[in-house]
Amino acid sequence: MPGYDPVRDLRDSRNQSNSETRNSAQIEEDRPERMVESPITQGPLPNGTDQGAIPKESVTHGEGSMEPIAYQPTYRWSEPTTILTPMTIEEMERRRFRSKNPLRHKERNADESVGGRIRPYAEFNAENGSVAEHYNKRQNIDREARESSPIIPLKRFNNWIKSALIAMYAQPALGEHAQARVLEMGCGKGGDLMKWDRQHPSILVMIDVAEVSVDQARERYESGRFRWPASFFAFDCFREPLSSHIPQEILAAKFDTISLQFCMHYGWDTEEHARVMLENIAQNLRPGGTFIGTTPDSETLMGRLEAINSEAELSFGNENYRIEFEHRYEPGEKPFGNKYHFWLEDAVDDVPEYVVEWATFERLAEEYGLKLLYRSRFDQILADGYDKPRLRSLLERMRVVDPEQVAETGEVTPAMPASMWDVCTLYIGFAFEKVEL
Ligand SMILES: C[S@@+](CC[C@H](N)C(=O)[O-])C[C@H]1O[C@@H](n2cnc3c(N)ncnc32)[C@H](O)[C@@H]1O
């Protein structure tokens, strides 16, 4: 599928000049343990040495004894503008409990897996509940467990794709302002925190409909000791305006970048929900700011459905993924609400999604002052990124491609089985720029 990006050259040159002023490590994915500076002490602190992020000695002093505690805010939990009083001991304890109880999420997920594995597609049914319920049930696992996922090559590739979109289309918009403001809609468990950290935001606002995921994102942020403030909100941003949940102080200044990763397809059930989503983006993005995202490619989805020999058969996939449509529509017949069920090994268990028909999306986006900058399927983004030295080196560091294999074959193919590549090539990445209407 040909990638088309009429302003790529312009972006590339902006990106180039921008990146020269930044540290080369900024697009490096999943840095190992690092040293961070305390914003107050200015001294280096080993990252992750205290997952709760509250110095132990500031909480209790020995069995039963509660000495008066001086207000020494080594770390803030909220933006300076919103904190009025020091946290109470109970609040601190509640946070410690939330971050550290390893059983909490295990209990919640006790029935989710069979023999430690996600149940196969056939054992699930669509009545499992809403999208929020599905994501609330998914276990929060540590880095080591994440690395042992059976689809780790795919997850690494998806992470690289998001880093590439950020480097190509968020970084230029963020770099224009000293106050770089980022909004992530459908943030999940905060898997992109490190990616945003490299952009040195002045604030990151994260929203997800799944409350448990938002809690986990907040915990990840708190234990990461990032040097910029973040705010977290749990609500459905395809049904409600941002202003109904996010305080006006936060929304007063518009965002430079809004990101919607692997999420939009849950909101394409009705035109009304798609419009709420676009309204939320357009109203809160500054002119010149960028909206980036990833979603399944409608052409590829419909093409694979079309390729099935039997008219009666509505499902396709392989050992890593399965898609089952509810109906077969003619092209253009169902711009919203074309529903299918998606199962992805070790990630998504039969969750209803909707085809985001590209032509409809682009037309609607334009109505809201969002002008298309870039749209490419993931295989094309890989090709585009391989041409950029920094993104290429990130590909190699993240072990998405094997440089020896590329040298041998002369082809840029990712190091993963063909069945996983079939999943990757279902998706597109895109970028829009907000223009004055
Ligand atoms: C596949 S996950 C992607 C998470 C994250 N963006 C990432 O790339 O890792 C999709 C996320 O979208 C969230 N989501 C779905 N519908 C939503 C809605 N209407 N409002 C906010 N979040 C939503 C889900 O709860 C889930 O966390």
Q: Which of 266, 273, 351 to mutate to test the pocket of ligand 1 (most atoms within 8 A of CB)?
A: 266
Ranges in the chain, pLDDT < 50: 1-65, 82-83, 90, 93-129
Number of CB atoms found within 10 A of residue 141's CB: 13
* Ligand 1 neighbourhood includes 131 CB (under 6 angstroms): yes
Rounded Cα–Cα distance for residues 379 and 349 (Å): 25
* Ligand 1 neighbourhood includes 196 CB (under 6 angstroms): no
DSSP string, 222-267: HHHT-SS-EEEEES-TTTS-GGGTS-HHHHSSPEEEEEEES-GGGS
Average model confidence (pLDDT) across the chain: 78
Tokens at 350, concatenated: 């039969």
Strand ranges for 281-393 from DSSP E: 285-296, 315-317, 321-325, 339-344, 348-354, 370-377
- Are 131 and 211 in contact, with CB atoms under 8 Å apart? no
Q: Which residues contact 85 (CB under 8 A, 6 or more apart)?
A: none
- The residue nearest atom 20 of ligand 1, judged by CA position, is 236
Tokens at 95, concatenated: 């946070």
Rounded to the nearest angstrom, the distance between the alpha carbon of 262 and the centre of ligand 1 is 7
pLDDT at position 137 is 72
Biggest alpha carbon–alpha carbon distance for the chain:
75
Reference 158, options 195, 122, 207; nearest CA is 195
- Amino acid at site 236: D
* Ligand 1 neighbourhood includes 135 CB (under 6 angstroms): yes
Return the exposure string of 294-321: e unless at least 16 CB atoms fall within 10 Å of the residue's CB, then b.
bbbbbbbbbeebeeeeeeeebebbeebb
Q: Which residues contact 437 (CB under 8 A, 6 or more apart)?
A: 369
pLDDT at position 258 is 98
* pTM (predicted TM-score): 0.73
DSSP code of 401?
B
Rounded to the nearest angstrom, the distance between the alpha carbon of 263 and the centre of ligand 1 is 5
Number of CB atoms found within 10 A of residue 196's CB: 25
pLDDT at position 67 is 59
* Ligand 1 neighbourhood includes 164 CB (under 6 angstroms): no
Rounded to the nearest angstrom, the distance between the alpha carbon of 34 and the centre of ligand 1 is 28
pLDDT at position 86 is 58
Reference 348, options 104, 112, 105; nearest CA is 112
Reference 355, options 331, 371, 374; nearest CA is 331
* Ligand 1 neighbourhood includes 209 CB (under 6 angstroms): yes
* Ligand 1 neighbourhood includes 369 CB (under 6 angstroms): no
- Is 208 annotated in some ligand binding site? yes
